[in-house]
Structure 1
Amino acid sequence: MFEFPIKEFFKQPRSLCGAGAYENAGPEAAAMGLRHVLFVTTGLRGTGIIDECKTNFENAGVSVSVYDKVESNPKDYNVMDAYKAFADSECDGFVSIGGGSAHDTTKGARVVAAHDGRNVNEFQAVNASETLDNPAHIAINTTVGTGSETTPAYVITDLSSPDAPHKWVGFDRAAITTLAINDPVLCMTQPPEYVAYTGFDTMAHASECYVGRVQHPSTTPVALAAVRLVQENLREATYNPKNFKAMEGMVWAQYMAAQAFSTGLLGILHSLSHAVCAYYDIHHGLNNGIGLPRVWTYNQPAAPDKYADIAGAMGVDTRNMNTPQAADAAIEEVIRLVKDCGCPENWGQVAEYPKTRMGKGWYEGKTTGAIASEDGELQKMAEHMMGDLCTPGNPRDLTVEGAKEVLRDCMYDGMGVKTSNGYRQSIWGTAPEMGRRTHGYEARGESPGVGRQPA
Structure 2
Amino acid sequence: MQPQIHQLLMPEKVIYGQGALAELGTAASAYGTKALIISDPIMLKSGVVEQCAASLQTAAIPSAVYTGVLSEPTHLYVEEALAACRENGCDLIVAVGGGSCLDTAKAVAVMMRNGGFIGDYRRQRFMHAPLPLMAIPTTGGTGSEMTKVAVITDTRNDEKMMISQPELLPRVAIVDPLLTLSCPPHVTAATGIDALTHAVEAYLSRKAHPVTDALALSAVRHISGHLLRAYRGGSDVEARSHMMIGSMLAGAAFSNASVALVHGMSRPIGALFHVPHGISNAMLFPAVLEYSMPEAQGRLADIGKVMNPGLGASALSDAEWANAVIRQIKQWCVEMNVPNLGQWGIDRKRFDGLLGKMAADAIASGSPANHPKVPGAEEIVKLYRVCYEYDFNQ
When normalised by structure 1's length, the TM-score is: 0.82
1:397 aligns to 2:374 (yes or no)? yes
Structure-1 separation of matches of 2:239 and 2:384: 32
- How far apart in 2 are the matches of 1:155 and 1:8? 22
CA drift of 1:373 comes to 6.1
- Runs (5+) with no aligned partner, structure 1: 352-368, 416-425, 428-455
**TM-align CA RMSD:** 2.0
Among 126, 131, 137, the residue aligned to 2:128: 131
1:250 and 2:248 equivalent? no
Question: In the alignment, which residue of structure 2 is the partner of 1:63?
Answer: 62
State the distance in 1 between where 2:254 and 2:307 align.
19
Q: Is the 8 A contact 1:15 1:179 kept in 2?
A: yes
Structure-1 separation of matches of 2:335 and 2:180:
20
Cα pair distance change 1:374/1:153, threshold 3 Å: closer
Residue 214 of structure 1 and its aligned partner are, at CA, apart by 1.8
2:344 paired residue number: 350
**1:154 partner SS:** strand
- Partner SS, residue 139 of structure 1: strand
Q: Does 1:327 align with 2:325?
A: no
Name the structure 1 match of 2:210: 217
Q: Residue 384 in 1 paired to residue 379 in 2?
A: no
Shift of 1:230: 1.2
Partner of residue 151, structure 1: 147
Alpha-carbon distance, 1:22 to partner: 0.5
Change (3 A) 1:202 1:92: same
Rate the CA distance shift 1:67–1:394 in 2: closer, same or farther, 3 A: same
Q: How does 1:278-297 map to 2 (within 5 A)?
A: 278-297=271-290
Aligned to 1:121: 119
SS in 1 for 2:229: helix
- Give yes or no for contact 1:348–1:411 (8 Å, CA) kept in 2: yes
1:37 matched to which residue of 2? 35
- Report the secondary structure of 2:210's partner residue: coil
User: For residues 320 and 8 of structure 1, what CA distance do their matches in structure 2 show?
Assistant: 36
Q: Does the aligned pair in 2 maintain the 1:300–1:307 contact within 8 Å?
A: no
Letter in 2 for 1:197: A
Partner-residue secondary structure (3-state), 2:225: helix
2:176 pairs with 178, 183, 191, which one?
Answer: 183
The 5-angstrom pairing of residues 49-448 of structure 1 reads 49-116=48-115, 118-125=116-123, 128-132=125-129, 134-160=130-156, 164-315=157-308, 317=311, 319-344=314-339, 346-350=340-344, 370=347, 372=349, 374-415=351-392, 427=394
Q: C-alpha distance in 2, partners of 1:90/1:216?
A: 42
CA distance in 1, matches of 2:77, 2:108: 9
Aligned partners of 2:256 and 2:70: how far apart in 1? 28
Distance in 2, Cα, partners of 1:24 & 1:239: 30
2:47 is the alignment partner of 1:48: yes
Deviation of the 1:371 alpha carbon: 6.0
State the shift of 1:12 in Å.
Answer: 3.1
Given that 2:10 and 2:146 are in contact with CA atoms closer than 8 Å, whether structure 1 keeps it comes out as: no
Query: 1-side partners of 2:283 and 2:351: how far apart?
Result: 19
* Partner Cα distance (1:327, 1:175) in 2: 34
**Retained in 1: the 8 A contact 2:283–2:338?**
yes
Tell me by how many angstroms 1:202 deviates: 0.5
How far is the alpha carbon of 1:215 from its aligned partner? 3.1
Q: Match for 1:107: what amino acid?
A: K
Three-state SS of the structure 1 residue aligned to 2:65 is strand
One-letter amino acid of the counterpart of residue 11, structure 2? Q
Closer, same or farther: CA 299–10 of 1 in aligned 2, 3 Å: same
Find the aligned partners of 1:371 and 1:283 in 2 and give their Cα distance.
19
Whole-angstrom CA distance in 2 between matches of 1:72 and 1:13: 29
Counterparts of 2:250 and 2:169 in 1: how far apart (Å)? 16
- CA shift, 1:211, in A, is 1.4
CA distance in 1, matches of 2:196, 2:348: 24
Q: Identity of counterpart residues, as a percentage? A: 28
Deviation at 1:268, TM superposition (A): 0.9
- Specify the code of the residue in structure 2 equivalent to 1:61: A
- Quote the Cα distance in structure 2 between the aligned partners of 1:77 and 1:200: 27
3-state SS of paired residue (2:46): coil
Q: One-letter code of the match for 1:43?
A: P
Deviation at 1:10, TM superposition (A): 2.1
2 CA distance for matches of 1:128 and 1:31? 27
Shift of residue 165 of structure 1? 2.1
TM-score of the aligned structures, taking structure 2 as reference length: 0.94
For residues 315-347 of structure 1, the C-alpha deviation after alignment (integer angstroms, 9 at most, x for no partner) is 172723222222112111111122222322x02
* Alpha-carbon distance change, 371 to 277 in structure 1, aligned in 2, over 3 angstroms: farther
- Equivalent position SS for 2:226: helix
CA contact (8 A) 2:228 2:332 kept: yes
CA separation of 1:372/1:271 partners in 2, compared to 1, >3 Å: closer, same or farther? farther
- Aligned-residue offset at 1:69: 0.9
SS of alignment partner, residue 152 of structure 2: strand
Give the unaligned 5+ runs of structure 2.
Answer: none
Q: Quick one: which amino acid aligns to residue 209 of structure 2? A: H
1:168 to 1:227, Cα distance in 2 relative to 1, 3 A: same
Aligned residues: 391
**Cα gap change, 1:274 to 1:374, in 2 (>3 Å):** closer
